[in-house]
Structure 1
Amino acid sequence: MTILSSDIRSKYLEFFKTKNHAIIPSAPLVPENDPSVLFNTAGMQPLVPYLLGEPHPLGKRLADVQKCVRTGDIDDVGDDTHLTFFEMLGNWSLGDYFKEESIAMSWEFLTNPQWLGLDPEMISVTVFEGDENAPRDEESAEIWKKIGVPEHKIAYLPAEDNWWAAGPTGPCGPDSEIFYWMGAGKPPMNSNKGTDPDNWMEIWNNVFMQYNRIDEKTLVELPAKCVDTGMGIERCTVTLNKLKSVYETDLFVPSLTKIREMVGNEKYNEKSARIIADHIRSATHMISDGVVPKNIDQGYILRRLIRRAIREAHKMGFEGIFTNEIAKIYISQFEDIYPSIKENSEKILTELTNEENRFAKTLKDGIKEFEKIVRGFDIAFKKTGNRPTQIAGTRAFTLFDTYGFPLEMTIELAKEKNLTVDVEGFNKAFQAHQEKSRTAAAGKFKGGLGDNSAETVALHSACHLMLAGLREVLGEHVHQAGSNITPERLRFDFTHPEKMTDEQKKAVEEYVNNAIQKGFATSISQMPKEEAKAQGVEGSFWEKYPDIVKVYTMTDTDGTVYSRELCGGPHVENSQDMGTFKITKEEASSAGVRRIKATLTK
């Protein structure tokens, strides 16, 4: 019997709803206020603040399906297992239940006929074997035995397999992984992940945040223990159906069928088709969460995925516009699961088509640039009698970076001219570029902040007051279009069609300084996004925020509300030491968008 991915997803959430878990929506792919990564890469990532003690507005029992992107193994996409986009199912206890109830619920969901109804004989588990840093997890092992798992199906494995830690210090604890038999027939006696690792595939992991590591030698029990579990839908679907490849599941068969129809049986290449199917799936979700193709940060990854997909189509001899046709399959597949897909369906198709058209032009320009390099070699031969035989890595990277020219195409064209490409030099140039991108990403902070110094935080609060002042003076058509804040100044882009007058700038300054001088206080609340919209909370880029949002309110002692806006913080708690606000420049940023630069002086 085929087990569909949609059934796994819906049954999982339905099951945990019966166990008094609040079903929370997926956070967007782009993390809120976490500049250390470009995308959410794990189910637990958006919930870290709550696992570390911050109260969640929906309670202590949560369950969700989280969208994730990982591109570290992008070159392996096309094999049987690697993907760039995946979905993680998870249930969470924030200081509520612990090992016994977590393990019991996992077992019930997997084996009860009302839910997945798996054969218990096909399941084995692992627990932490203990080491000099932490004790053996006999508690979990005894719970597994108590619910019916035979002792020979329980493997004790080391920390590298069964220990989770947030970092060198902080919350940590053992985990217990659940595996499904992938071998022929029933598993033999004494077969488990420890004795027979190749025949068991992980389907679920229960992490028990039990300890707080103070230092290398000190581990203390946490006062409020948490549970964090994760089950990948794609891996679970392929494993439970005993398929060889994730691309054989219902998640990918429709798109691969469409690609085969598009290119024809004779030119169809399975690996190329898989890369297209994976990359357009990821691109569809990225665009739905507000990412657009660019040459930096998330946009750089998106552009690379789309252009890789186009290149794979070209390798199969197909040069027409096609990405939106593949995306339509994924829109249909996910629009009832993730609201952002349905809400942004037209944007998804438009961005994909635009990027295809752009790349068609850069491909042609790139070929011209390549031919120019070859002509240079011919000129060198005429002058010196020596013909260069290798294209420098830096030139190959220019073709890639400036013209979006895939390295593989440069190598293929070079081969036709009896030339080689300095791939090592290309990789060095690429790594240098990536280091610059990572440095830029690491320099970002909450809400466009360059850092979290007192000066920067004060300017961030002034930014909120200024936006409120702009809306008061210019009208409610004004919204944020971008910001960048350093300790020295704020730069703020906003929607407005014309240059501000001196009187308008002065009125905005007075609005901000009046709030500062009166001594506003900042408060934070959490509420559903739709409720925030209904209450008139100011915000831009709503699609990038989760369904539960943080709202910062700046209020005078007499109850006057100066600003109420979506934000991730941080802000001053009181305005006493902010200084005097001054607009130093107001200018055009782009069509329909103005830019202000401003300072605070004491």
Structure 2
Amino acid sequence: MIANELRKAYIDFFVERGHAEIPSASLVPENDPSVLFTTAGMHPLVPFLKGEPHPSGTRLVNVQKCLRTGDIDGVGDDTHLTFFEMLGNWSLGDYFKQEAIQYSFDFLTTKLGVPTDRLAISVFAGDADAPFDQESYDRWIACGIAPERIAKLGKEDNWWPAGGKNPGPQGPDTEMFYWTGAEPVPKTFDPSDKQWVEIWNDVFMEFDRQTDGTFAPLSQKNVDTGMGLERTTAVLQGKTSVYDTERFTPIIHAIEETSQTAYVTHKRSMRIIADHVRTSVMLVSDGVHPSNKDQGYILRRLIRRAVRQLHQLNDREHGIGSVVDACIETLEPSYPVLQQRQSEIQEVIAHEVAAFEKTLTKGLRAFDKLFASSGYVGGEEAFTLFSTYGFPLELTEELVREKGMGVDKEVFVAQFQKHQDISRSGSEKKFAGGLADHSDESKKLHTATHLLHQALKMVLGDHVAQKGSNITQERLRFDFSHDAKMTDDEKREVEKIVNEQIQKKLPVSFKVLSVDEAKKKNAIGLFEDTYAHIGGKVKVYTIGDAKRGVFSREICGGPHVENTGDLQAFALTKEEASSAGIRRIKAVVGDSARKALSIKNR
């Protein structure tokens, strides 16, 4: 079974059982500054796990795009990927453990034909916070799983999020493992044996961990499951590596062609290139561009690591374009938008590759100077080259080896860890659950984004369309289609319009409408986009009312303030180019906006 067949079989199985198919959310969380990327299928659904009604009902299924940066250094082995797809089904206060486990067992054994003899299970062993998961254990026994094939493990293994130390929705889980080794299959399940590969995880969310560490029951019991598409495809095909499936072989072939080297002798390098370029393609498609901050920094790092590996394969021309095309070709059946954006994706990645050529040149010069002055380049010097020029440690090591010496990697790692600890505090944090910011400030900034969008249309024209957004605790960032730099007059007019709507103290409300109803009401939104396919329903936020007129009507998932007066004030802080035909605005509200406006008016 190939990946696209598994994807279809999974969706069909759960749709037949009353689940509504919903689209994947973006890799970049729209309203959650606590994380850089969507790391799990549950991430976009947290408000609904906490009890907010979902427009599509209580049973959902989808394939979610996910990205986990913690796996970057592990890429190159058989299983680690940065970008992957997660098959998932949810029950929002509907069915619970009995039905969820039965669905999982039936799909594996009946739909996929997995022999029960090759399955093993783990369940939560229980602790001071929650009891042993007897119900899940009994259900698996009833399905025909032998007791010696069921392991009872603690929070680090059978709780989601792992360890149960972060606030938000969570609970015990049960995991399914497949024996990938030779016959005979062991009669007992040893979780430490790597030949048992995890393929599916059913999470039973019944707790909401408070900030003080206590566990409160959720208003409803939920089920959140996750099956890695790439890993399960490999297992079903009898492959030991995800890179040996049809999802990657065309990409690796393109790398062999451009580098004129063989995969069999350069597996690790080619796997890194395949993974990193594939992830880069998906990030650019979701509106991320290389930069030195946040998501852009991760994209930059991925592209540069791929270029470095091509360099090791003696591909000095860095023919990454053909690899990009191969990635798009393999993913396009699932994500047609990739073909529409192929030129933009190629342009963004090619530009970063060209920029890194300059980095390589500068780094080589700096290396020569360091070595000439001291006759030595150690761990500290290697980190200086890395942090100042983006010069990869691997390249420094290669150059030092040519001099008959070595780099003290422990010193480098210590310096890197120190740097990472400092930057991580404001960067990617483990997903703790929650649109991190249901906080007042986030709601204000998100509402301001709607006002800004409409004001830009009024000042610049109807061609303006949102191309991306990001909200932190301090500011909003809004990318939009427009060819020219905004004039000072245009910026002042946009600010004026937004502040007028704030002073009017307009009400903000929402309704769940059908796509046709939303179109008739002229709601702003791409109807091919995420919200347009949530069971045929969309959430439409309206700013204004019949009495004072409607200023904005836009498809959105929230959260928002209830009155524009809560924003107090609005100010643009920056307007710049994001990419060809795309402009970027940064803005603030409240006291920060008042201060910014005061400075402008002096």
Provide TM-score, normalisation by structure 1.
0.82
- What is the identity, as a one-letter code, of the residue corresponding to 2:143? I
Secondary structure (helix, strand or coil) at the match of 1:390 reads coil
- Can you list the C-alpha shifts for 1:263-291, whole angstroms capped at 9, x where unaligned? 33569512111111111111111111111
- Can you list the C-alpha shifts for 1:224-247, whole angstroms capped at 9, x where unaligned? 211111111122122233322222
Gap change, CA 1:559 and 1:330, over 3 Å in 2: same
Check if 1:124 corresponds to 2:131. Answer: no
Give distance in 2, aligned partners of 1:13 and 1:489.
38
Give distance in 2, aligned partners of 1:351 and 1:442.
23
Give distance in 1, aligned partners of 2:278 and 2:206.
37
- What is the identity, as a one-letter code, of the residue corresponding to 1:332? E
Give distance in 2, aligned partners of 1:595 and 1:219.
41
Larger mean CA deviation between 23-32 and 368-377 belongs to 368-377
Query: 2:154 — aligned with what?
Result: 158
- What is the identity, as a one-letter code, of the residue corresponding to 1:522? V
How far the C-alpha of 1:563 sits from its partner, in A, is: 2.1
Query: 1:358 — aligned with what?
Result: 355
Alignment of structure 1 residues 182-197 onto 2, 5 Å: 182-188=180-186, 190-193=187-190, 197=193
- What is the identity, as a one-letter code, of the residue corresponding to 2:7? R
Larger mean CA deviation between 28-37 and 419-428 belongs to 419-428
Give distance in 2, aligned partners of 1:538 and 1:162.
43
Q: Count residues with an aligned counterpart.
A: 578
Query: 1:408 — aligned with what?
Result: 394
Give distance in 2, aligned partners of 1:217 and 1:47.
22
Larger mean CA deviation between 328-337 and 511-520 belongs to 511-520
Gap change, CA 1:22 and 1:559, over 3 Å in 2: farther
Gap change, CA 1:532 and 1:219, over 3 Å in 2: same
Alignment of structure 1 residues 88-487 onto 2, 5 Å: 88-112=86-110, 115-165=111-161, 167=165, 170-188=168-186, 190-193=187-190, 197-212=193-208, 222-265=218-261, 268-377=265-374, 388-391=375-378, 393=380, 395-418=381-404, 420-421=406-407, 423-431=409-417, 433-435=419-421, 437-441=423-427, 461=447, 464-465=450-451, 467-478=453-464
Query: 2:433 — aligned with what?
Result: none
Query: 1:54 — aligned with what?
Result: 52
Gap change, CA 1:420 and 1:23, over 3 Å in 2: same
The two structures, once aligned, show a CA RMSD in angstroms of 4.0
- What is the identity, as a one-letter code, of the residue corresponding to 2:155? A
- What is the identity, as a one-letter code, of the residue corresponding to 2:100? S
Gap change, CA 1:290 and 1:547, over 3 Å in 2: farther
Give distance in 2, aligned partners of 1:121 and 1:406.
47
- What is the identity, as a one-letter code, of the residue corresponding to 2:271? R
Secondary structure (helix, strand or coil) at the match of 1:183 reads coil
Q: Is the 8 A contact 2:515 2:527 kept in 1?
A: no
- What is the identity, as a one-letter code, of the residue corresponding to 2:345? I
Query: 2:432 — aligned with what?
Result: none
Secondary structure (helix, strand or coil) at the match of 2:121 reads strand
Give distance in 2, aligned partners of 1:416 and 1:39.
39
How far the C-alpha of 1:363 sits from its partner, in A, is: 1.7
Give distance in 2, aligned partners of 1:321 and 1:233.
30
Query: 2:27 — aligned with what?
Result: 29
Q: Is the 8 A contact 1:121 1:187 kept in 2?
A: yes
- Can you list the C-alpha shifts for 1:464-523, whole angstroms capped at 9, x where unaligned? 445534533553345678889999998988758477586x78866764555445431011
Q: Is the 8 A contact 1:289 1:543 kept in 2?
A: no
Give distance in 2, aligned partners of 1:402 and 1:544.
40
Secondary structure (helix, strand or coil) at the match of 1:408 reads helix
Q: Is the 8 A contact 2:370 2:376 kept in 1?
A: no
Provide TM-score, normalisation by structure 2.
0.82
Gap change, CA 1:277 and 1:546, over 3 Å in 2: farther
Give distance in 1, aligned partners of 2:73 and 2:574.
46
Query: 1:524 — aligned with what?
Result: 510
- What is the identity, as a one-letter code, of the residue corresponding to 1:345? Q
Gap change, CA 1:229 and 1:415, over 3 Å in 2: same
Gap change, CA 1:544 and 1:398, over 3 Å in 2: farther
Query: 1:574 — aligned with what?
Result: 563
Give distance in 2, aligned partners of 1:491 and 1:176.
40
How far the C-alpha of 1:98 sits from its partner, in A, is: 1.0
Secondary structure (helix, strand or coil) at the match of 1:412 reads helix
Query: 2:550 — aligned with what?
Result: 561
Give distance in 2, aligned partners of 1:457 and 1:222.
23
Identity among equivalent positions (%) equals: 48
Q: Is the 8 A contact 1:336 1:342 kept in 2?
A: no
Gap change, CA 1:546 and 1:517, over 3 Å in 2: same
Q: Which runs of 5+ in 1 are unaligned?
A: 378-387, 444-449
- What is the identity, as a one-letter code, of the residue corresponding to 1:123? L
Gap change, CA 1:487 and 1:392, over 3 Å in 2: closer
Secondary structure (helix, strand or coil) at the match of 1:185 reads coil
- What is the identity, as a one-letter code, of the residue corresponding to 1:390? V
Gap change, CA 1:66 and 1:146, over 3 Å in 2: same
Gap change, CA 1:246 and 1:93, over 3 Å in 2: same
Q: Is the 8 A contact 1:518 1:556 kept in 2?
A: no
Give distance in 2, aligned partners of 1:241 and 1:485.
42
Q: Which runs of 5+ in 2 are unaligned?
A: 430-435
Larger mean CA deviation between 20-29 and 359-368 belongs to 359-368
State the structure with bigger RCO (CA 8 A, min sep 6), 1 or 2: 2
- What is the identity, as a one-letter code, of the residue corresponding to 2:552? S
- What is the identity, as a one-letter code, of the residue corresponding to 2:347? T
Greater Rg by CA: 1
Secondary structure (helix, strand or coil) at the match of 1:358 reads helix
Gap change, CA 1:36 and 1:76, over 3 Å in 2: same
How far the C-alpha of 1:64 sits from its partner, in A, is: 1.0
Give distance in 1, aligned partners of 2:483 and 2:133.
61
Gap change, CA 1:173 and 1:362, over 3 Å in 2: closer
- What is the identity, as a one-letter code, of the residue corresponding to 2:326? I
How far the C-alpha of 1:81 sits from its partner, in A, is: 1.9
Gap change, CA 1:41 and 1:534, over 3 Å in 2: farther
How far the C-alpha of 1:76 sits from its partner, in A, is: 2.3
Give distance in 1, aligned partners of 2:295 and 2:39.
13
Gap change, CA 1:479 and 1:109, over 3 Å in 2: closer
- What is the identity, as a one-letter code, of the residue corresponding to 2:376? T
Query: 1:381 — aligned with what?
Result: none
Give distance in 1, aligned partners of 2:149 and 2:323.
43
How far the C-alpha of 1:80 sits from its partner, in A, is: 1.7
How far the C-alpha of 1:215 sits from its partner, in A, is: 8.9
Gap change, CA 1:340 and 1:36, over 3 Å in 2: farther
Query: 2:71 — aligned with what?
Result: 73
How far the C-alpha of 1:222 sits from its partner, in A, is: 4.3
Secondary structure (helix, strand or coil) at the match of 1:27 reads coil
- What is the identity, as a one-letter code, of the residue corresponding to 1:95? G
Give distance in 1, aligned partners of 2:485 and 2:167.
53
Query: 1:82 — aligned with what?
Result: 80
